[in-house]
Structure 1
Amino acid sequence: MRPRSVRARATLGASTVVALALGAASFALLGMLDGNLMRSAQADAERQALSTAGLAAAGRLDTVLAPGRDTDFLQVVDADGRVLAASPNLAGRPALSPGRPGKPGTVRRTWEGPARGDRRHRVVQVTTVTGEGLVTVYAGTSLRQADAADDVITGALAVGVPLLVLTVALVTWRVTGWALRPVEAIRAEVAEISDRDLHRRVPVPRSQDEIARLAVTMNTTLDRLEAAGIRQRRFIADASHELRSPITVLRTQLEVAQAHPDPALWGELVSGALEDTVRLQDLAADLLLLARLDTGEPPPAAAVDLADVAREAARSRRRDRIPVDMEIAPEAVVRGSTLWLSRLVTNLLDNAQRHADRRVRLLLRVDAARRTAVLEVGDDGPGIPAADRERVFERFTRLDDARSRDEGGTGLGLAIARDIATRLGGSLTVEDAPAGARLVARLPLDSA
């Protein structure tokens, strides 16, 4: 029974609220009107009763009483229940009340009319002391005006309230439909967008409201999806190209070995095939790590001493063609995993050694003011032009493509290093250096 559309729920909610508010207001209005008319009738009757009681106390009471303009009847009864005086419309009638007051006072009540049974009366009973004992005066005023007003107001409200609720429901239905029309247009457009139509965008209404901001946000999301799709297709194409080259070379070597079964050539062919196999293995490992980094899983959160990781990575390169000079702070504990941090340092050192002429420098320091560990890797090679300082972190990017391929670079090392730094809450940038290239990674220190 619950409406499923926002339009129906808004209409039902608005109608219900208005109906409840109008119902409460109607009851309050009827109560106030009835109370005011009741008080007015009571004041008239009380005034007439007090006046008549004064005449009885003074002994100047006539047997036939003339009610005032706003009073319907009068009756005076002694302590024994005998009617001493009455208005003409109660002539010959017994006492209005069988009860006898035991002391002077005033009582106000509502009776079904003693003079006319079809109307209510507001009766004021005043008991006073006379020379012959207690005398009770009954003065009544008809509530016909109050009843008639109640009937008129009730009839008007019975017709007006449903009409007003119906009007509110109709207006709410129309206004809600008009307000939700852009949402429906956005929904229809998004429903037609497939993975091949990510260039399409939803219409943005001219109104500067929440729906317009929703449309802008939706288009921004589609922009990101389109960019991600482009990057994914480019990544697949680049990965296919990178894999094809060593596979082609490996196949050629195997075909040569099969066509020329000369044992003297097998050593060189096997060595080349092994080299290409290692290159394929490294490329597959890089692609697998990138896929894991792209999944969005929470990064490792263990406490790791980056100084130990950097020191171990530098020591393993003592016998390389280009050694690594290191200057490492004693402690730099960060949050992450030893595997990720080792891969970060290794990739930076591999890149530096690949392009250095004679020297690679590894520096690790702690920035206490910013609570970060700063890892710098520099080389004395040709450096990185300012225009390419961001492009080098793109996947499969090589500034010197031929030289990088010959030296075993896949174009994924710096991309992986930046992804690791970013996932650990840090950054990796290329910064100015007197000579060569200088890459700086900043990682937040462990708060513990």
Structure 2
Amino acid sequence: MYHIAIIGSGPAGYYTAEACQKQFGDNVHVDIIDRMPVPFGLIRSGVAPDHQSIKGVSRRYEAIALCDNVRFAGHVSVGQDVTIPELQTLYDAVVLATGAPSDTKLTIAGGDLPGVIGSAAFVGWYNGHPDFAELHPDVDGKAVVVIGNGNVALDVARILAKTGTELSGSDIVGHAYDVLANARPSRITLVGRRGPHQIAMTPKELGELGMLERAAPLVSSSDLPPVEEDAHLDSGHRKSVQLLRQFAAKTPDKPLVVEFDFFAMPVAIEGNGRAERLIVERTTLDDQNRSIGTGERYAIPANLVVSCIGYRTPPIPDVPYDETLGRFANVDGLIAPGLYAAGWARRGPTGTIGTNKPDGFMIAERIAVDIPKPAGKAGREGLDALLGKRGVDLVTFRDWQKIDLAEVSHARDGAPREKFVHVEEMMAAREG
């Protein structure tokens, strides 16, 4: 019997578990270990709360989790409750599928002022992640700047711009709903170093910005390249730029404006004890589409700055780490004999949720080649014995189903659930 431990219960973790099932059949036991008592990682705490159709993929993961040879082992912190070397003595293979849940730091002057928040923290706050439950961002009446030209920046701007009615059917957590449903930002500005042809925004997400009740997008036609240059873009990117052209052709007629400020490189955040304005430098592009500062600077009012400039995988003790790329050091998923990485922990924060599926199958196939037969290790029995000695209160998928039921039963009218935002509440709910 193969014993495989997967660290992380998000998309990469469950796709890898599914792949191991198909690779080894009944001859495998998989433990999916997560420090949270609740599964699904990015699906629960990263996907925008108003994108419920995307969150539906968790039903596929649930089917995997309920198989006899797969177990969710929540409320277990790797590196604290159990180490990687210890797991390697218990399992034939250990796969790190921890994602990239930490923000890339905004390294400009004033980047650490109060009022400056990374997107992982801000998204975690409105999605109910326990690490960010006490964030308390100040939004009402404020000028908000969102740094970034990708889908995460769009998500942040859209959630900030929506009314309480628009948010009511989402699973946005109660403390964030209470703040955002009653908030009236004075303006939202999306800042990007490059131009419309370099955005990483998909048409669906960009199109949603043009259908909001109280907010309308503003794009300057002078930022758009000649329309004939759109022909060089792939079809999805071309559709996104066409939407920007449509926005530029209209004058915003709603009380809140979401302005796209292209060719603007953040250089400093200023304020008297907290963020008040973002200083940017106007840019141009070289022949390789890299942004170059022109020396022209100006200020954008910014009482709240949300930095959406990328994510990193947190290091784990005893695991080689690539500081430059912000992920575990690996070659095609292999970190060291018997130790692997999958998903964003392997390749960095790129691709969609589905991109993690081939990653998982690649790792399962690699394990089969590297470890042609199991070594008779203790697996989950050994893990349970070790955690029992250390007083770790492991949470199973059946426990999660009780937490899930409690969250659904506590939902406000029209919402799919009301998430618990403290680990203690989650642990108590599994008893009910």
Which structure dedicates a bigger proportion of its chain to helix? 1
Higher relative contact order (CA 8 A, sep 6+): 2
* TM-score over 0.5 for the pair: no
TM-score (norm 2): 0.22
Q: Which has the larger radius of gyration?
A: 1
